[in-house]
Structure 1
Amino acid sequence: IGAAAPWLLTLVRILQGLSAGGEFGGAVAIMTEFAPRGRRGLYAAWQSFTVALGLLAGAGIAALLATVLSADALDSWGWRIPFLLALPLGIIALILRLRLEETPSFERIRPEGTSAPVQKASAGETAKAVVLGIARLMGWSAAGYTFLVVLPGYLQSSLGATFQEALV
């Protein structure tokens, strides 16, 4: 599809990022609500930990492909392999998400005859929570992209490292 390919790939990655970001807070809430008392912090930490593992796995797969494939093969078709490897994981995650039941604590506070609990918060409390959430995610994202995107590029362009060396 020619010149449209990078634009479409960028659009798909933006949609992926928005959907993953939208699920992040809900996933932490679900994990903590299902956690036994006294273990909620540990359960909530798994969300960030598994995100970090996923980023490291992605960098590892990229390094492996850069080592195993020639530069021409990587540029022409090899870059598609990580996307194809992620497809079954995405399907599994979607199936799990669609089958997820409500947490026991949610069921306890749900008013009779409604589908969701009624919660009231002031506009100031809501704005503070939103700004704090944005700041935390921006810091996490900046650190992740610095180490996994910017640093390998810097190592190649400024220090003369090969693509494989930069990824490793």
Structure 2
Amino acid sequence: MPTEHGTVFYSGAKQVLEAVTEAEAAVSALSGQPRGTIKVTAPLGLGRRLVASGIPDFHDKYPDIEVRLRLSDHNVDIMKEGIDVAFRLGIIEDSSLRMRGIMECERVLVAAPKYLEARGEPTEPQELIGKKHDCLMLRYSGAREYVWMLQTADGPRKFEVHGPYDTDDGDVLTG
């Protein structure tokens, strides 16, 4: 029986692979044998764990298509860089792009036992706003503040959090 994390990961991976299958179907609708280069971008973690795993199957079906996968936690200018497919997390600000959601990505708040022993365990999201707790933040390109959407008794609510450390690499925060 898979763990809850395993189940969530499997569900997300399945949806990404379904999106790849849909893209493959669109490519095969083109006349003749598809050929050329397709540029794909994704955040580091998502790209490593989910997107890259679909490329070998895609290449087996379309050997004349070269895939250029660019993984980065920095948002690239999709139009300027000539990106054909971009996987993104969160809310996309540029509404001129054609996009659709392919999966839900839930995040969890975690802390080391030693940290909780020293600072206490927060029981309400509001406790993360003050100076009592140090939040580790993932900085997305262009972000000026850190806003976390957290579940409260009244439903989802945005909280602006602060802390002594941020990074633009999501894997650093989980290391």
TM-score of the aligned structures, taking structure 2 as reference length: 0.24
Higher-helix-fraction structure: 1
> Which of the two has higher C-alpha Rg?
1
Does 1 or 2 have the higher relative contact order (CA < 8 Å, sep 6+)?
A: 1
TM-score of the aligned structures, taking structure 1 as reference length: 0.25
